[in-house]
Amino acid sequence: MAEKIQKLKGTADITPEHSYKWQYVESVLRDVAKRFGYREIRVPTFERTELFLRGIGDTTDVVQKEMYTFLDKSNRSVTLRPEGTASVVRAFIENSLYAGNLPFKTYYIVPNFRYEKPQAGRLREHHQFGIECFGTAEPEADAEVIAVADTFLKKLGVSGITARLNSLGCPQCRKRYQEALKNYFESRKSDLCPTCLERLDKNPMRILDCKSPICAAIAKNAPKTIDYLCDDCTKHFESVLNCLIDLRVKFEVDPTIVRGLDYYNRTVFEFVTDAIGAQGTVCGGGRYDNLVESLGGPKTPALGFGCGLERLLLTMEASNAKMPDPPAPDIFIAAIGPGAQQAARKLCHELRLNGVSAEYDLCSRGVKLQIRHADRLGAKYKLVIGEDELESGIGKIEDMSSSRAVNANITVDSITRVVKGHI
């Protein structure tokens, strides 16, 4: 026997007994996005590495430690997509979507790739639902984007989630804040980890995102962004909060939120839960008003969020959120003898074309084993066809849950009426 080849660490197989849950969640996400006016975009799985270096920021953990980067056969540096926004911005520019009707509102459901330590709900290949909104700087847009997340989380029955907001301000605000941060951390630099010592000169805000317990304890008392906002940014943030109150979205202001990517400005937010162990972010995002221009497009305000599906599903499970039942055949047609097998084959095909989920035996089993197989599939109805049924043209369709049966013509129309509850 050949040696088994196993999946790589940090990846997962989503088998049929679980994939229907993913399909349900994705259908809810698509429905909510559609109701808010967001249309789907699909972008490549890999991009030129430069896109993420410029878009995400070379001082972030994603770029420094977590990207899957390689040289292709033309010796070009290529990276598997670590997050969705940079690719969508590139597509927005390359396809001149800024020349159309604004705001341009789009969503995506994509796999992303990060080389990090696998943990609950966070794999090296993980899946993300995200939305992006281009072409408006109004606080109304910030509130709407947050409301999209709030809406689908409620619709999915997720509990124990808190929406937390902060503002990073504009470049002028950030400059003053960076100076205050640097002064604060300079006085404590002897206790910082080697990575944060490098960040001190390049981007001290990244120290706030460090996972080292010592750095995290130091950062706890660091200056807060909200105390360094200019008048315009203060007014913008207050307007966002007022809009959320109008939309009945509950939130908390949390001055410690900075997000892990460099492109954010002004409003940033996270939907946080402790339902699956250590407190974690289920959904997060914010404004990135300068990213389109920094990647070669026209100056275009923009914002969005990303939501990890693995973590979302774990949170739903911890919340005892209602899930649909697994898919099951409407009817299983068991056959006794070659003539009945041919009839079952034809009937199932015609029923499937008529919108009925129908199954029959493909393994030459006896009728008892066929019925057992139907039960394992969870079939709602069963119909056994033998010589008598073929001769009379009438069969007994049995409800598998109640054992109640009804006689019906062995025709597509009659069977469809029974399994659809019309008899």
Establish if 265 belongs to a structural domain: yes
Quick check: 139 pLDDT over 70?
yes
Contact partners, residue 120, CB within 8 Å, separation at least 6? 276, 277, 280, 311, 314
Confidence of residue 76 (pLDDT cuts 50, 70, 90): very high
Average confidence score pLDDT of the chain: 90
Domain end call among 296, 318, 340: 318
Contact partners, residue 205, CB within 8 Å, separation at least 6? 174, 177, 178, 181, 258
Using one digit for the tens of pLDDT, what is the confidence trace for 11-69? Answer: 898 999 999 999 999 999 999 999 999 999 999 999 999 999 887 776 666 777 788 89
Measure the CA–CA gap between 5 and 13, rounded to whole angstroms: 13
Q: Are residues 311 and 378 in the same domain?
A: no
Q: Are residues 264 and 355 in the same domain?
A: no
pLDDT of 414 reads 94
Query: Which two structure tokens, joined as six digits, stand for 355?
Result: 């919108």
pLDDT of 278 reads 56
| 151, amino acid identity | T
* CATH number of the domain enclosing 234: 3.30.930.10
Quick check: 275 pLDDT over 80?
no
Query: Which two structure tokens, joined as six digits, stand for 291?
Result: 């990213």
Using one digit for the tens of pLDDT, what is the confidence trace for 372-388? Answer: 999 999 999 999 999 99
Q: Are residues 54 and 142 in the same domain?
A: yes
Using one digit for the tens of pLDDT, what is the confidence trace for 184-232? Answer: 888 877 778 888 887 877 778 778 777 778 888 888 888 888 888 999 9
Quick check: 298 pLDDT over 90?
yes
Using one digit for the tens of pLDDT, what is the confidence trace for 299-358? Answer: 999 999 999 999 999 999 988 889 999 999 999 999 999 999 999 999 999 999 999 999
| 308, amino acid identity | G
Measure the CA–CA gap between 140 and 358, rounded to whole angstroms: 49
Over residues 356-376, the mean pLDDT reads 95
pLDDT of 355 reads 94
| 232, amino acid identity | D
Task: Quickly count helices (H) and strands (E) in the chain.
Answer: 15, 16
Establish if 393 belongs to a structural domain: yes
- Residue 175: burial class (beta carbons within 10 Å; 0-12, 13-18, 19+): exposed
| 399, amino acid identity | D
Q: Are residues 266 and 393 in the same domain?
A: no
Establish if 218 belongs to a structural domain: no
Least confidently predicted of 31-40, 255-264, 281-290: 255-264
Establish if 9 belongs to a structural domain: no
pTM for this prediction: 0.87
| 98, amino acid identity | Y
Query: Which two structure tokens, joined as six digits, stand for 11?
Result: 């990846």
Q: Are residues 51 and 148 in the same domain?
A: yes
Domain end call among 264, 290, 318: 318
Establish if 234 belongs to a structural domain: yes
* CATH number of the domain enclosing 349: 3.40.50.800
- Sheet containing strand 394-399, edge to edge, reads 358-360, 331-335, 381-385, 394-399, 405-409
| Residue 353 DSSP class | H
Measure the CA–CA gap between 125 and 12, rounded to whole angstroms: 8
pLDDT of 160 reads 80
Q: Are residues 282 and 387 in the same domain?
A: no
Q: Are residues 160 and 61 in the same domain?
A: yes
Least confidently predicted of 229-243, 278-292, 390-404: 278-292
Q: Are residues 293 and 376 in the same domain?
A: no
Quick check: 279 pLDDT over 80?
no
Q: Are residues 275 and 400 in the same domain?
A: no
Confidence of residue 177 (pLDDT cuts 50, 70, 90): confident
pLDDT of 116 reads 81
pLDDT of 118 reads 77
Over residues 86-103, the mean pLDDT reads 95
Q: Are residues 309 and 347 in the same domain?
A: no
pLDDT of 102 reads 95
Going through 211-337 in order, the beta strands assigned E by DSSP cover 252-253, 265-273, 280-287, 302-308, 331-335
Q: Is-contact 132 43, C-beta < 8 A? A: no
Confidence of residue 277 (pLDDT cuts 50, 70, 90): low
Q: Are residues 314 and 336 in the same domain?
A: no
Question: Structural domain of residue 391, as residue ranges?
Answer: 331-419
Task: Write down the residue that tokens 């969503």 correspond to.
Answer: 107
Measure the CA–CA gap between 156 and 372, rounded to whole angstroms: 34
| Residue 298 DSSP class | -
pLDDT of 418 reads 93
DSSP 322-383: --PPPP--SEEEEE-SHHHHHHHHHHHHHHHHTT--EEE-SS---HHHHHHHHHHHT-SEEE
Q: Report how many domains make up the chain.
A: 2
Measure the CA–CA gap between 361 and 373, rounded to whole angstroms: 8
DSSP 173-221: HHHHHHHHHHHHHHTTGGGS-HHHHHHHHH-GGGGGG---HHHHHHHTT
Domain end call among 293, 318, 343: 318
Q: Are residues 297 and 404 in the same domain?
A: no
Using one digit for the tens of pLDDT, what is the confidence trace for 146-175? Answer: 999 999 999 999 888 889 999 999 988 888
pLDDT of 58 reads 62
Establish if 64 belongs to a structural domain: yes
